[in-house]
Chains A and B, each alone.
Chain A
């Protein structure tokens, strides 16, 4: 496969994953605004921070408001991570790798682009927001579905998966990092409704609320939430899950290429071992914030290594 094609596949799936994550973050922000526990617009700053686009927002806007924040994340062409920018970039990459993906995948991504371009042509009113967000999730699910259902399990698929899980690991780590203080035992004021809302927020922003309740019933506090999102391999957005998938796919690529010592495979293996050898208490003892910062750095370094190992650019 061409290095350029691997690059295109990787980014196509990173951007699709990003669009979906951003939609979920907007939904969470909107939910908090509606609970009216928070009278200021501070929460939107933390939502933007989770989506890694607060800096860009501040460069363009002097004030913070719900409308501005939502528009920035949904439709802004100045924000490279906005949903419209992500879907554009995903489709542009899909065009680049048109020969590597199936017709079904191309049609799914092209129809996502066409219908979101239309839905996001004008400012989205508060009333229309839920249906627009649903549309985004729906299209992301469709692309994922046809990917599973129609693509050969070969190196093409491996690069698609690498993009998906690298983006997802990055997203989960960032959401946890923006909110890490809520999960610290010292900041805990047990049972207050504010705490409960904050915890719910974290779970919702990674679509883990249902899973968590299934596992812990009405119980479970910050320690369990952190454990669930960092170390639980059954949870498809946890760091442990994403990292194990990266291990698998890089493992297949290393095997096919006959290169057991592939540097990116080594790096992700080390990250997985680090996660497997820890309990959540170890992580808290070491410092949750420090742990998450280290993990984010590691993810970035793995991404660079993948680009190098598979000759994305040179």
Chain B
């Protein structure tokens, strides 16, 4: 059912090579497949050598794996991108306004656009953030919006990532790899650059420094440590920005500031780009067992002594239950119609919706409200009878925990396989930076591709790969 109507971004629906791919395809046609295969292996060696690996959890010996990289780029035209960016910007603006509102006067609840319990009973809502005025008014300094494409120019938001979106290092390294392997492609195609991202990130973070900052703000990246699955990315970003990479045990509160232990004593930090979840951020204020955070950082934060990026408590805006209200949220705060579409979503907490979902389970995708990484999810059309029965039981037992969506017919982009070009489903995560100076969207993003034929799961932890994403100059 899915296969019939699939839109391929290279070949369209009618086997006509689409415009953005024309120059690329002409080049590809001239290339010797043997050489390309050798290049593919070369890319892998390059990734291993530079250490672009992720750690796999739950293994005795911390194993480092590569995310498979495919050499066929995903190409987006300049005009298509311009339209997409407007939608992304509108959405990110709305998310920030929403966060400010729910941690202050909750106008959106008063206006009856979102039920009160969706906020107050949400696990991701942090009481400790109520009434806090965040530096520069920015809650989500870095956002990743997961998009899927179903036809020419038809993009849907699958998920907003407003906590600590990862994967941007792959966007940068994929481009670097392509530039090294096929420099000639970039002289033929006018591809918009992504390499300014780390500098933009540093500027954007610095622009959000707390008011008490003196001179050039000190920025640092907080990582859970070298065994974290995304450690490479944390080190990479700190390195590229030229800032310190710190762990919880390097930090402590000194004279009302969060400071890092240097070889010459403690030095205050102005902006902390944390890659540690809210719950682990501060053992005094949140999970007391946490070894990863800084005792007392929330108190410093509330007193305006440090900027935490992203702000604690932003998780409520990318919660899958809140997701279904996003069209209302965008309208409420921007006064405009949403430019980007939401995937129609059934909230299983509502009895009518639950009944519909239970009746149509084999056609739907069911997701856990708080889940991530593609875990705990049911894809109806490919599920076994046993899976379906198990999910029916789960849905009835805890309906509030789930949402359901129709199975979208995700677009494909070819990958380079033994058989030549073979279509595979993709998604797209552009990266957005927010500061008082404005919103900046890096042209491109991370394209994740399901390497298994027919598969819709693109997560790297479950056999997904990545591609370089090109946005052409107009």
Establish whether residues A4 and B51, one from each chain, have CB atoms under 8 Å apart when the complex forms: no
A114 cross-chain contacts in B, Cβ below 8 A: 48-49
Establish whether residues A95 and B231, one from each chain, have CB atoms under 8 Å apart when the complex forms: yes
Provide 15 A-B residue pairs closer than 8 Å at the C-beta atoms, listed in order of the A residue.
Answer: A2-B244, A2-B262, A2-B263, A3-B263, A4-B247, A92-B226, A95-B231, A95-B235, A98-B51, A99-B244, A114-B49, A155-B263, A253-B263, A310-B263, A311-B262
- Residues facing B in A167-208 (CB within 8 A) are none
Establish whether residues A257 and B51, one from each chain, have CB atoms under 8 Å apart when the complex forms: no
B51 cross-chain contacts in A, Cβ below 8 A: 95, 98, 106, 110
Residue of B231, B239, B243, B249 ringed by the most chain A CB atoms within 10 A: B239
Establish whether residues B226 and A311, one from each chain, have CB atoms under 8 Å apart when the complex forms: no
- Assess whether A103 is interfacial by the CB under 8 Å rule: yes
**Alpha-carbon distance between A155 and B264 when the two chains are bound, in angstroms:** 11
Q: Looking at the complex, which one of A1, A96, A99, A111 makes contact with B49 (CB distance below 8 Å)?
A: A111
**Alpha-carbon distance between A5 and B249 when the two chains are bound, in angstroms:** 12
Nearest chain-B residue to A258 (Cβ)?
Answer: B264
**Alpha-carbon distance between A6 and B235 when the two chains are bound, in angstroms:** 16
Nearest chain-B residue to A102 (Cβ)?
Answer: B239
A41 cross-chain contacts in B, Cβ below 8 A: none
- Assess whether A107 is interfacial by the CB under 8 Å rule: yes
Establish whether residues B250 and A4, one from each chain, have CB atoms under 8 Å apart when the complex forms: yes
Nearest chain-A residue to B261 (Cβ)?
Answer: A3
**Alpha-carbon distance between A99 and B221 when the two chains are bound, in angstroms:** 11
Establish whether residues B264 and A110, one from each chain, have CB atoms under 8 Å apart when the complex forms: no
- In the assembled complex, the CB of A69 is this many whole angstroms from the nearest CB of chain B, namely 26
8 other A-B residue contacts (CB within 8 Å) besides A6-B263, A98-B245, A114-B49: A2-B263, A4-B247, A98-B51, A98-B236, A107-B50, A257-B264, A310-B263, A311-B263
- Residues facing A in B228-277 (CB within 8 A) are 231, 235-236, 238-239, 243-247, 249-250, 260-265
- In the assembled complex, the CB of B180 is this many whole angstroms from the nearest CB of chain A, namely 13
Interface SS of chain B: helix, strand, loop or mixed? mixed
Establish whether residues A4 and B264, one from each chain, have CB atoms under 8 Å apart when the complex forms: no
- Please give the number of chain A residues whose Cβ is less than 8 angstroms from any Cβ of chain B in the complex: 23
Closest 9 pairs (CB-CB, A-B)? A98-B235, A310-B263, A99-B239, A99-B238, A3-B261, A6-B263, A99-B245, A1-B263, A257-B264
Q: Looking at the complex, which one of A3, A96, A99, A107 makes contact with B226 (CB distance below 8 Å)?
A: A96
- In the assembled complex, the CB of B292 is this many whole angstroms from the nearest CB of chain A, namely 14
Q: Looking at the complex, which one of B226, B235, B246 makes contact with A2 (CB distance below 8 Å)?
A: B246
Establish whether residues B239 and A2, one from each chain, have CB atoms under 8 Å apart when the complex forms: no
Establish whether residues B261 and A2, one from each chain, have CB atoms under 8 Å apart when the complex forms: yes
- In the assembled complex, the CB of B224 is this many whole angstroms from the nearest CB of chain A, namely 13
Given known contacts A4-B261, A257-B263, A310-B263, is B50 in contact with A95 (CB within 8 Å)? Answer: no
Nearest chain-B residue to A8 (Cβ)?
Answer: B226
Nearest chain-A residue to B226 (Cβ)?
Answer: A95
**Alpha-carbon distance between A114 and B260 when the two chains are bound, in angstroms:** 33
A1 cross-chain contacts in B, Cβ below 8 A: 262-263
Establish whether residues A99 and B250, one from each chain, have CB atoms under 8 Å apart when the complex forms: no
**Alpha-carbon distance between A155 and B262 when the two chains are bound, in angstroms:** 12
Interface string of A102-121 (1 = CB under 8 A from B): 01001100110010000000
Establish whether residues A3 and B250, one from each chain, have CB atoms under 8 Å apart when the complex forms: yes
